Chains A and B, each alone.
Chain A
Amino acid sequence: MGSVTCNPLAPPSTHLLLNPSKIPKFCHSRRQLHGSQRASKIIAYYGLKTPPYKLDALEPYMSKRTLEVHWGELHRGYVEGLNKHLAKDDVLYGYTLDELVKVSYNSGNPLPVFNNAVQVWNHDFFWESMQPGGGDIPKYGVLEQIEKDFGSFTNFKEKFIGAALTLFGSGYVWLVLKREERRLAVVKTSNAINPLVWNDIPIISLDMWEHAYYLDYKNDKGTYANVFMNHLVSWNAAMSRMARAEAFVNLGEPKIPIA
């Protein structure tokens, strides 16, 4: 018969499937609480990542209550929704979250898991796009690239805030590094869409869903966007993302016009 493994994470061996009654008694107590009495299932899941600061660290610009609701309930809800989808469809297990977003976008005809997956990604990214004592202006490479692609930092800031004010409905505003054009751009997206689906590289994001600012600023999007730029945005995060992006996009090459 061979030995019966009792590790709940091991692949189901055939004789467990055929003879559930042969499972030694002591294994039952270590079984996962998902209700299956037969062979152990492999379960992969995503966890809720905590922001790199305490929930009240962004006061007075973003209140603790907003973080508690936005992160603790909405973001958590997306993670749980994502895990529920994964439990139903093991084909999705093999992907990293980035890949899962691109695959489930399915070229514009999104699969059911897309909304949850991309919102988990978006919120992880958003928390990390902010820091206590943020704002001010970027330095070194990021500043140079912004000045190259927008003319000046002020111009970039205007464009970014302008995008936030003219976005209708729910969505995000992004500073993104465009792969094809090899330059930075400000992009606004609806609902949960993310520049990854166009194969671009996000550098900074601002969540413009009403749930992100309503408790603190009510309908005043302008003040929210300005406060984000002046006091919250993490240029440190932007720098490390740019550094990584430069491994994929060669910004140093001259643009040679094609005749």
Chain B
Amino acid sequence: MLIKFLLSRQNALEPHMSKDTLEYHWGKHHRAYVENLNKQIVGTELDGMSLEDVIIVSYNKGNMLPPFNNAAQAWNHEFFWESMKPGGGGKPSGELLELIERDFGSFDRFLEEFKSAAATQFGSGWAWLAYKANRLNVDNAVNPFPSEKDKKLVVVKSPNAVNPLVWDYSPLLTIDVWEHAYFLDFENRRPNYISVFMDKLVSWEVVSKRLEIAKARATKREMEEERRKKEEEEENSEDEAVEVYVDGDESESE
């Protein structure tokens, strides 16, 4: 909520992200996505759903329905604004830093990977730091033998409006690399924009908080799956009426 108030004072992120950029990026691009989405879903079954649900449903496993672009972009931009703050940057701390060091080797290696993903996303898109709980490296597959090692942080990049929610990851941080995000301030110099974002704008507090939520959600899911499995087992063991075919029956009919 605070970031929204700050954004309405559009010079909040100067000099790293100009007032002009915010005026257009937030005031025109983001606003258009929200307005067009509302127009698209009014009166349909998507109308009452949460934004995240609208995204998953309209992603339709890759065969996107019309509201997807607007829904995903509305979510992505909100997530993006909240990932920044005036006087941001620096390094993370606490559990987030521990996990980064565990999964990438060091904070610098993570930084390299993230910056490289952002710089090499061809065309429009986003780069993400995400928490991947127990998923195999094949995106939507469920890991049959989950272990603590599978729960890790990853850097991913996505084209156009796609975001890691559709792969069932928990996004923690994003950078918008559509050209409209940096062209007014940096023209074609995307790597400079990425560096300024990481050095001066990232809000590590928000990222840490998102990590907590992601881990809690993963744990809750695991417990629910355990519970569901136990229930299924109990149901199966109650089933006594199983037909057993014995050779003896056949010889009787001869």
Q: Report A's interface with B, CB cutoff 8 A.
A: 69-70, 73-74, 77, 115, 168-171, 190-192, 209-211, 214-215, 218-219
CA gap between A74 and B187 in the complex, in Å: 10
Which of B45-53, B148-156, B176-184 lies at the interface?
B176-184
Contact yes or no, B188 A73, CB < 8 A: yes
Interchain nearest-CB distance for A115 vs B (Å): 6
Contact yes or no, B24 A219, CB < 8 A: yes
The one of A73, A169, A219 in contact with B187, judged by C-beta atoms closer than 8 angstroms, is A73
**In chain B between 180 and 208, which residues have their CB closer than 8 angstroms to a CB of chain A?**
180, 183-184, 187-188
The one of A190, A192, A210 in contact with B179, judged by C-beta atoms closer than 8 angstroms, is A210
Across-interface contacts of A70 in B (CB, < 8 A): 188
Closest chain A residue to B184, Cβ basis:
A214
> Other CB < 8 Å A-B pairs besides A169-B159, A218-B28, 4 of them?
A73-B187, A192-B122, A192-B123, A219-B24
The one of A73, A171, A192, A219 in contact with B180, judged by C-beta atoms closer than 8 angstroms, is A219
- With A215-B184, A219-B24 already in contact, the answer to whether A169 and B123 are too (CB < 8 A) is yes
CA gap between A129 and B178 in the complex, in Å: 25
A-B contact pairs, 7 of them (CB 8 A): A77-B188, A169-B160, A170-B179, A210-B179, A210-B180, A210-B183, A219-B28
The yes or no answer to B40 lying at the interface (CB within 8 A) is no
How big is the B interface, by class? 10 to 19
Interchain nearest-CB distance for B4 vs A (Å): 20
Contact yes or no, A215 B124, CB < 8 A: no
Contact yes or no, A215 B122, CB < 8 A: no
The one of B24, B124, B161 in contact with A170, judged by C-beta atoms closer than 8 angstroms, is B124
Across-interface contacts of B178 in A (CB, < 8 A): 169, 210
Interchain nearest-CB distance for A40 vs B (Å): 33
- With A169-B160, A214-B180 already in contact, the answer to whether A190 and B187 are too (CB < 8 A) is no
CA gap between A170 and B122 in the complex, in Å: 9
CA gap between A168 and B67 in the complex, in Å: 12
Contact yes or no, B123 A168, CB < 8 A: no
Closest chain B residue to A191, Cβ basis:
B123
Across-interface contacts of A190 in B (CB, < 8 A): 123
